[in-house]
């Protein structure tokens, strides 16, 4: 199936485009009043995630409001631990909680790889519904959390600032830690392959907590497992490439290593200068990012200035997907997100050869 607006897919593969494509991490979310209305109708966040027609509805909401270059599946990275039986609950004001976290090495041995068309069928049904609703208009991005990030939640029982339990486990129980990461890598690989089969056009691995590790531990406990996952993904579907994106929040020190694991694009957060990132990775991968989400709290004129600076820093040529350096926050006025998107569309063609 040919996608009408394939700007994102071409940019991820470092192919010529007429302008820089743009989408937003968490583009379907609490900053949109229409999302809040659907969320209220669902009753709670997990019901929203687990009801395919509602997940489809909120996935499409930002596309009705903004001229974005992609849809991203509305779901949560903790669907896999939930399907493994850890008892997920999510309070949007507090964060996720797992009722049955991993507390001892023996707990790891009880974990199995969830069936994407079984325990996670609701995600695949949402992908199929979104793909049908989108038609050929735009690409659909699927995603999963990285094994290390999922392990952090599974070991902590929820979110954390310091990850004391997770880090103690990997240092005190390295064999069990690797068993946990291995089963998670298998689960994420199966999950992403099923999303591709169901209709997503690109996939992204969110390594939200990789930046909490030391350099040596990052390579051992995070990067190595993402590399395994990327190696298992199909490169094509129906003769068309399926690009992959890897995003480690705080991963600036390891850009070259991330770019070498076989992914097509590397996401960077706002702490990493994009011109420096481009020099470091060269033509090996595309880059995605990296406006500070807090810029969207500023006046539209300032937002345009910051957009212009990032486009200028990346410079001429292809292989740039404009995005935030992390997810959009609930406090953002939707019109400010619109100002950012409009600025990217208006200012970026000057940086592309085919314009």
Average pLDDT on 14-24 reads: 97
Residue 140, phi then psi, degrees to nearest 5: -115, 130
Q: What is the pLDDT of residue 282?
A: 94
Asked if residue 190 belongs to a domain, the reply is: yes
Number of domains in the chain: 1
Residue 163 lies inside a defined structural domain of this protein: yes
Crossing angle of the two packed helices 274-281 and 300-314, in degrees rounded to 10: 20
Structural domain includes residue 331: no
At 201, list the tokens.
């056009």
What pLDDT score does 68 carry?
Answer: 98
Confidence (pLDDT) at 75: 97
In a domain, 13, yes or no: no
Please report how many Cα atoms fall inside a 13 Å half-sphere around the Cα of residue 299, on the Cβ side: 2
Instruction: Check pLDDT > 90 for residue 110.
Output: yes
Q: Active-site positions?
A: 26, 30, 39, 76, 153
Question: Within a domain: residue 240?
Answer: yes
Give the CATH number, domain containing residue 276: 3.20.20.210
pTM above 0.75, yes or no: yes
C-alpha to C-alpha distance for 71 and 172, rounded to whole angstroms: 41
Question: Does residue 61 sit within a domain?
Answer: yes
**Domain containing 144: what range?**
27-284
Does residue 353 register a pLDDT over 90?
no
Contacts of 91 (CB under 8 A, 6+ apart): 45, 97
The mean per-residue pLDDT over the stretch 160-180 comes to: 94
Per the listing, tokens 């490169």 go with 235
Once rounded to an integer, what is the mean pLDDT over residues 220-231? Answer: 98
Q: pLDDT band at residue 355, thresholds of 50, 70 and 90?
A: very low
Q: Are strands 236-237 and 202-207 parallel, antiparallel or unpaired?
A: unpaired
- Closest CA relative to residue 9, chosen from 153, 181, 205, 200: 200
Residue 346 inside a domain? The answer is no
pLDDT greater than 50 at residue 128: yes
Is residue 327, in this structure, part of any structural domain at all?
no
Average pLDDT, the chain: 96
Helix H or strand E segment including 55: helix 52-65
């Amino acid at each position: 199936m040919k996608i009408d607006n394939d700007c994102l897919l071409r940019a991820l593969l470092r192919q010529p485009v007429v302008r820089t494509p743009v989408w937003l991490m968490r583009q379907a979310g609490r900053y949109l009043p229409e999302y809040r209305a659907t969320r209220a109708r669902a009753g709670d966040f997990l019901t929203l995630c687990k009801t395919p027609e509602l997940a489809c509805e909120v996935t499409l909401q930002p596309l009705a409001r903004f001229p974005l270059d992609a849809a991203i599946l509305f779901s949560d990275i903790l669907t896999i631990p939930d399907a493994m039986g850890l008892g997920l609950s999510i309070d949007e004001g507090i964060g996720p909680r797992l009722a049955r976290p991993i507390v001892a090495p023996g707990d790891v041995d009880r974990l199995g790889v969830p069936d994407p068309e079984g325990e996670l069928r609701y995600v695949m049904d949402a992908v199929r519904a979104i793909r049908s609703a989108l038609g050929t208009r735009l690409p659909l991005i699927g995603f999963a959390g990285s094994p290390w990030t999922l392990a952090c939640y599974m070991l902590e029982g929820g979110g954390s600032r310091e990850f004391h339990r997770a880090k103690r486990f990997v240092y005190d129980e390295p064999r069990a830690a690797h068993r946990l990461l291995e089963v998670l890598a298998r689960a994420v690989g199966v999950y992403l392959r099923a999303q591709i089969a169901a209709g997503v056009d690109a996939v992204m691995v969110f390594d939200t907590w990789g930046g909490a590790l030391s350099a040596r531990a990052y390579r051992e406990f995070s990067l190595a497992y993402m590399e395994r996952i990327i190696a298992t993904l199909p490169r094509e579907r129906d003769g068309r490439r399926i690009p992959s994106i890897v995003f480690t929040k705080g991963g600036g020190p390891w850009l070259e290593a991330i770019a070498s694991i076989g992914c097509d694009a590397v996401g960077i957060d706002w702490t990493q200068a994009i011109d420096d990132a481009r020099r470091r990775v060269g033509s090996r991968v595309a880059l995605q990012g990296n406006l500070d989400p807090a810029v969207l709290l500023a006046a539209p004129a300032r937002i345009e200035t910051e957009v212009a600076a990032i486009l200028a820093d990346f410079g001429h040529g292809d292989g740039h997907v404009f995005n935030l350096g992390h997810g959009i926050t609930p406090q953002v006025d939707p019109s400010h997100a619109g100002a950012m998107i409009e600025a990217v569309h208006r200012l970026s063609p000057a940086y592309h050869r085919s314009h």
